[in-house]
Amino acid sequence: MKAEAWIFGMPTVFLVLVSPAYWFITGDWTGTSALTMTTLLTAMVTLYLGVHAAKMDPRPEDRKDGEIADGAGELGFFPPYSWWPLWCGLTLGVMVFAVAVAAWWMFIIGVTLGAVALSGWIFEYYRGEHAH
């Protein structure tokens, strides 16, 4: 994870330099606050990845003498397909639309359908074809 920390560290350094320069050139509070928040977010990710990279053993891709065969083996469980994210997204769309047009009855329907969709997404691997 050392490489990932460096990948996020470079934009952090760039944003640390650009944020005050933007303020001095434009005097714009909105852009300066957006750049400052972006700087803090990239710094947070850099710190997180750097701390965890120091704690864990180097992965094969982090070592200079690492071979391709060192990374062989099972990488984890990857779901084959799922329709539940689509339904979760659609119910979120219904809820946002309901707030935009002030139709609170539609928002309640969206929350109800969203709870069903989210439950289905969470528990889809406990039953049916892909049950563990």
Averaged pLDDT for residues 43-72: 86
Has residue 8 got a pLDDT over 80? yes
Q: Of 21, 36, 67, at which residue does a domain stop?
A: 67
The reply to whether 21 falls in a domain is yes
Q: What is the pLDDT of residues 20-55, one digit of tens each?
A: 999 999 999 999 999 999 999 999 999 999 999 888
Q: Domain check: are 23 and 49 in the same one?
A: yes
> Tens of pLDDT along 79-99?
778 899 999 999 999 999 999
The residue length of the chain stands at 132
Question: Are 51 and 96 found together in one domain?
Answer: no
Answering whether pTM is above 0.75, one says no
Domain annotation covers residue 72: no
Same-domain check for residues 103 and 49: no
**6 shares its domain with 62:** yes
Place 128 in a pLDDT band, splitting at 50, 70 and 90.
low
Could you give the CA distance from residue 21 to residue 16 in angstroms, rounded to a whole number?
A: 9
Number of domains in the chain: 2
Residue 110: inside a domain: yes
- 117-126 pLDDT tens trace: 999 998 888 8
Token reading at 62: 């982090």
For residue 29, give its domain range. 2-67
**Quick check: is 78 in a domain?**
no
CB count, 10 Å around CB of 49? 19
